[in-house]
Chains A and B, each alone.
Chain A
Amino acid sequence: MNGWIRLGEVAHARSGDKGNHANIGVIAFTAAGYEYLQSALTAEMVAQHFAAWRPRGVDRFLLPGIQAMNFVLYDILAGGASRSLRTDTQGKVLAPSLLSLWLPEPPELAIMRK
């Protein structure tokens, strides 16, 4: 797919729940990738990726110590572990889903891969 990459080519991730909210921690493989993602992977894009699940909002926090960013997705779990009727009550698959997100291919892709 010329011109596009999957997020998973430059980062790895893990997701989980806090009540009815979920978080997705995204860790860049390299410093260059972390720099790229700070402009390429915004809270708005994450909200759009999961629009079908209607999060009330998405915040992004940075962890420069490990070149990571943490997305908090509010009220995305349809009731959370206790009340959600979904199979994935705790948002465990949000991270693998986000890693499939398409991003514009950065010119320096070679130094962003693992």
Chain B
Amino acid sequence: MSTISVKRSPEILRIGNGAGYWGDNLDAPRRLAEVGRLDYLTLEYLAELTLSILAHLRSRDLEAGFVGDVPTVVESLIPALKSQAELKIVTNGGGMNPTACVRAVAKVLEAAGLGAVPIAAVAGDDLLPRLRDLQAAGETLENFDTGEPMTAEILGRLASANAYLGATGIVEALQRGARVVVTGRVADASLTVGPAVHEFGWTWNDWQRLAAASVAGHLIECGAQATGGMYSGWSSALSLDNLGYPLVEMSADGRFTLTKPTGTGGAVTFDTVSEQLVYEIRDPAHYLTPDVDADFSQVSLTETGPDRVLVQHARGNPAPPQLKVSMAYRDGYMAAGTLVVYGPDATVRARTCGDLILSRLRQAGIELARTKIECLGSGMVVPDAWHVPPGQPAQLGGSASTVTEVVLRVSAHDPSKAKLERFLREFAPLAGAGTPGVTGYTGPRPSPYPVFAYWPTTISRQHVQPTVEVHTASEWLKSSADGSVHA
């Protein structure tokens, strides 16, 4: 671990993102912080359904419900925090329980002699306890994807309901001196917008700059997807081993250069960055965040050096009056099992084995609500309707009839966990009571897991105010010990 001695430029803010989702590479944040000369390290952990899983964990344990990677990663960052006085961390890994996450982080910091570090918990996104009041205030909570109205039945099964907070809570936390900011459901891009607003002193109606920082946040929020991960033009020359995670060098006018630490694998080029600009967006002229209605359609990317891309021409319009809310309701259980089937007619054999699993279950009196049989390797992951050019005779190469090994995957969804456990017992018998060529059945039997169905909605932003609490690591630990502050 080398000490960073390079002086940071006051005109340029360096923000790097070391995690793109819960489960991302545990070493990436440390490696990025060690060599990135960062002012801010962001860690983005929340996908659409992560909060419902975290809510499920919290329902079993009041001190759970946050992303467990956070204290582990903070522990790995201790040397960087000690050697780089300017380094701050902003993460939404607090999930459903930011204060419990803060206490876990505080414990790690105090044990390392960093008990004086101020840590903020930013919350206010959890609407589950307030839904009746919000309905009484006129919020209909209808599903904005399907138009379905909220029902008492769905309401009774809700596991989580979280508004997307913008950057305001993060800015307040930073203004109050926090060095580590742990939030609940803050929008991914806002993790970058917050530090930029705080450092540059932008106002909350500076739509052009808020849009520019939102583009920066959008580009780095998925970690290595901006630096060569997932890139369509992959080749072995891309050196994904030691893949560098992204950072932006931002100016006060909002223009920024996306780059990665020198000496790392991957690539930052027009191609790798443009693919991430279009990742998981709808109308590029209206990328909506709680901070701004950002227009990506005119954004330009210019390669200015090796692994350096200048990003400019984002435009912004006033933030939408409605905030997005991610809700999830309990919807039974799912389970899936796999077998490998080999032979000259592997696809037919695999299909037969899949049918056997379901027919034997029916003989046992068990009908499952939804099932699916996939013969992976025979072209079923995605339909390949255009295998040959229009008007050409079908080729044999790659068609299902010539595939000699297939992964059979059978999956099911049902309200009953017990029925799914019984379903999973039907895979092993195929080893001896199925077609020839069945293998791949060793290892532990999978288990059914709970399903949380997604219900996106919107509410008026007037109903949502972030709450910000800032204490030193040592103070957070005291407050939990006497139970008076965070009971």
Using a CB–CB distance below 8 Å, which chain A residues touch chain B? 1, 3-4, 8, 12-14, 16-21, 23, 25-27, 48-53, 61-66, 68, 70, 72, 79-83, 85-88, 93-97, 99-102, 114
Contacts and interface: CB of A to CB of B under 8 A. Distances in A.
Contact of A63 (B233, B296, B372): B296
Judged by DSSP, the binding face of A is mixed
Interface stretch (B119-127, B194-202, B356-364, B383-391): B383-391
Contact of A62 (B297, B383, B392): B297
Interface pairs A-B: 5 shortest CB-CB: A25-B278, A52-B383, A85-B372, A12-B232, A4-B389
Nearest to B326: A19
Contacts of A65: 296-301, 313
A98 to B, nearest CB: 9
A86 B454 CA distance: 16
B297 A64 contact: yes
Interface string B223-237: 000000011110000
Interface residues of B, number: 58
A17 B282 contact: no
Interface stretch (B174-182, B238-246, B405-413): B405-413
A95 B49 CA distance: 23
Contacts of A68: 274, 277-278
24 contacts: A3-B389, A12-B231, A12-B232, A18-B48, A18-B280, A23-B282, A27-B271, A50-B382, A62-B297, A63-B278, A63-B296, A65-B297, A66-B270, A66-B277, A70-B284, A79-B453, A81-B47, A83-B331, A85-B371, A86-B374, A97-B382, A99-B232, A101-B386, A102-B386
A81 B49 contact: yes
Interface of B: 47-49, 52, 145, 230-233, 270-271, 274-285, 296-301, 313, 328, 331, 334, 336, 370-372, 374, 376, 381-386, 388-390, 392, 409, 411-413, 451-454, 456
A70 B384 CA distance: 21
Nearest to B286: A61
A56 B248 CA distance: 38
A17 B297 CA distance: 20
A80 B278 CA distance: 19
A27 B275 contact: yes
A23 B281 contact: yes
Nearest to B456: A19
Nearest to A12: B232
Nearest to A18: B280
Contacts of B390: 4, 102
Contact of A83 (B285, B297, B313, B453): B453
Contacts of A13: 232, 275
A99 B382 CA distance: 12
Contact of A53 (B233, B285, B383, B454): B383
B372 A86 contact: yes
Contacts of B374: 86-87
B232 A14 contact: yes
Contact of B49 (A62, A63, A82): A82
Contacts of A96: 232
Contact of A61 (B285, B299, B382): B285
B298 to A, nearest CB: 4
A85 B370 contact: yes
Given A64-B297, A88-B381, A94-B382, A72 B334 contact: no
A65 B302 CA distance: 11
A85 B384 contact: no
A70 B278 contact: yes
A15 to B, nearest CB: 8
Nearest to A2: B389
Contacts of B230: 14
Contact of A27 (B145, B274, B285): B274
A13 B370 CA distance: 32
Given A1-B389, A63-B297, 12 more contacts: A4-B389, A21-B282, A25-B275, A49-B386, A52-B385, A61-B282, A72-B282, A81-B454, A82-B452, A85-B371, A93-B381, A100-B384
B275 to A, nearest CB: 4
A5 B385 CA distance: 16
A18 B282 contact: yes
B324 to A, nearest CB: 11
A13 B231 CA distance: 8
B283 to A, nearest CB: 5
